[in-house]
Amino acid sequence: MGAALTNRLLQKTTLIVLCIILLMLDARAMAEPSAGPKATASFTAEMQRLLDGAEQALLALQPFPDEAAAGFFKNGRSLPKGYLEGIADRILEQRGKFAMAAELTRTALAYGAAGGNMNNIAGIDLYPLLMNHAGIDSEGAAVAAAAYMTTNNSAFNTYERTDRYPDMILYQLLKTQLADGSWPAAGQSTGDPASTARVLTALGPVAGSELTEEPVRKAVQWLRDKQQPNGGFDGKTGTTAQVITGLSSLGLDAAEFAQAGGTSLLDHLLAAKLADGSFSQAAGGGSDRTATVNAYLALTSYKLLSKQEGLLYSGLHHAGPVLAAIQIEGPGGTLAGGRIAGGDAVKAAAAFLQSRGLAYKLNADTAKPAFTAIEGIQNGRYSGRGEWKLAVYSGGSSWLYPENISSRLTVGDGDQLLVYYADDTELPDRIAVEWKDQYGQQNTGGSAYAGLPFSLRVTRSNRSLGGLPAFGVTVTLQGKSVVADSAGKVSFAGMKPGVYPVQVTKYRKDGAPALAKRTFALHIASPDLARFTDSAKVSAWARNDISVALSSGYIQGVSAGGNVLAPKQKLTRAEFLTLLMRLMHEFPDGKAASGFKDVPAGKWYSGTVAKAAELGIISSSSGRFEPDRGITREEAAVMVVQAAQLSTYGSTERMKLADVAGLPAASRQAVQAVYEHEIMTGSSGRFEPEQVLVREQAAAVLVRLQQLIPAASYQ
Q: Which 3-state string (H, E, C) describes 518-534?
A: EEEEEEEECCCHHHCCC
pTM: 0.87
| CATH for 82 | 1.50.10.10
Instruction: Please say if the pLDDT value at position 190 is more than 90.
Output: yes
Please give the pLDDT value at position 710: 58
| Sequential DSSP letters for 53-73 | HHHHHHHTSSSPPGGGHHHHH
Asked if 402 and 471 sit in the same domain, the reply is no
Give the 3-state secondary structure of 578-647.
Answer: HHHHHHCCCCCCCCCCCCCCCCCCCCCCHHHHHHHHHHCCCCCCCCCCCCCCECEHHHHHHHHHHHHCCC
Asked if 560 and 478 sit in the same domain, the reply is no
Asked if 65 and 188 sit in the same domain, the reply is yes
Instruction: Please say if the pLDDT value at position 41 is more than 90.
Output: no
Instruction: Please say if the pLDDT value at position 6 is more than 50.
Output: no
Asked if 332 and 480 sit in the same domain, the reply is no
| Mean pLDDT, rounded, for 547-576 | 94
| CATH for 359 | 2.170.130.30
- Read off the pLDDT band of 366 (50, 70, 90): confident
Mean of pLDDT over the chain: 91
Instruction: Please say if the pLDDT value at position 356 is more than 50.
Output: yes
- Read off the pLDDT band of 364 (50, 70, 90): confident
Instruction: Please say if the pLDDT value at position 7 is more than 50.
Output: no
Asked if 366 and 432 sit in the same domain, the reply is no
DSSP assigned state of 385: B
In a domain, 311, yes or no: no
In a domain, 136, yes or no: yes
Please give the pLDDT value at position 442: 86
| Sequential DSSP letters for 554-586 | S----STTS----TTPBPBHHHHHHHHHHHTT-
Domain final residue pick, 423, 445, 474: 423
Instruction: Please say if the pLDDT value at position 559 is more than 90.
Output: no
Please give the pLDDT value at position 395: 67
Asked if 51 and 170 sit in the same domain, the reply is yes
Using DSSP's 3-state secondary structure scheme, residue 423 falls into coil
Tens-digit pLDDT profile for residues 502-547:
999 999 999 999 999 999 999 999 999 999 999 999 999 999 999 9
Domain final residue pick, 375, 397, 423: 423
Query: CA 556, 562, 564, 570: dihedral to nearest 10 degrees?
Result: -40
In a domain, 312, yes or no: no
Tens-digit pLDDT profile for residues 593-620:
778 999 998 899 999 999 999 889 998 8
In a domain, 561, yes or no: yes
| Mean pLDDT, rounded, for 660-689 | 96
> Quick check: bond before 710 cis, omega within 30?
no
| First vs last C-alpha separation in the chain | 61
* Of 25-29, 84-88, 570-574, 692-696, minimum mean pLDDT range: 25-29
**Distance, CA of 234 to CA of 225 (rounded, Å):** 13
Please give the pLDDT value at position 593: 76
Please give the pLDDT value at position 551: 94
Asked if 566 and 660 sit in the same domain, the reply is yes
CB 202 within 8 A of CB 210: no
Instruction: Please say if the pLDDT value at position 23 is more than 80.
Output: no
- According to DSSP, the residues that pair with 339 across neighbouring strands are 325
Asked if 169 and 192 sit in the same domain, the reply is yes
Asked if 439 and 375 sit in the same domain, the reply is no
Please give the pLDDT value at position 713: 36
Please give the pLDDT value at position 152: 96
Burial of 186 (0-12, 13-18, 19+ CB in 10 A): middle
**Distance, CA of 207 to CA of 580 (rounded, Å):** 51
Tens-digit pLDDT profile for residues 234-288:
999 999 999 999 999 999 999 999 988 889 999 999 999 999 999 999 988 999 9
Please give the pLDDT value at position 11: 42
Domain final residue pick, 525, 545, 569: 525
Overall number of domains in the chain: 4
- Read off the pLDDT band of 396 (50, 70, 90): low
Asked if 537 and 482 sit in the same domain, the reply is no
In a domain, 179, yes or no: yes
Asked if 335 and 379 sit in the same domain, the reply is yes
Tens-digit pLDDT profile for residues 77-136:
999 999 999 999 999 999 999 999 999 999 999 999 999 999 999 999 999 999 999 999
Please give the pLDDT value at position 397: 64
In a domain, 148, yes or no: yes
**Distance, CA of 317 to CA of 312 (rounded, Å):** 13
- Read off the pLDDT band of 33 (50, 70, 90): very low
Asked if 134 and 22 sit in the same domain, the reply is yes
Domain region containing 416: 321-423
In a domain, 487, yes or no: yes
**Distance, CA of 493 to CA of 491 (rounded, Å):** 7
Tens-digit pLDDT profile for residues 204-216:
999 989 999 999 9
Using DSSP's 3-state secondary structure scheme, residue 344 falls into strand
Rounded to 10°, the helix 633-644/606-615 angle is 60
**Distance, CA of 92 to CA of 678 (rounded, Å):** 10
**Distance, CA of 112 to CA of 97 (rounded, Å):** 17
| Mean pLDDT, rounded, for 175-185 | 98
In a domain, 325, yes or no: yes
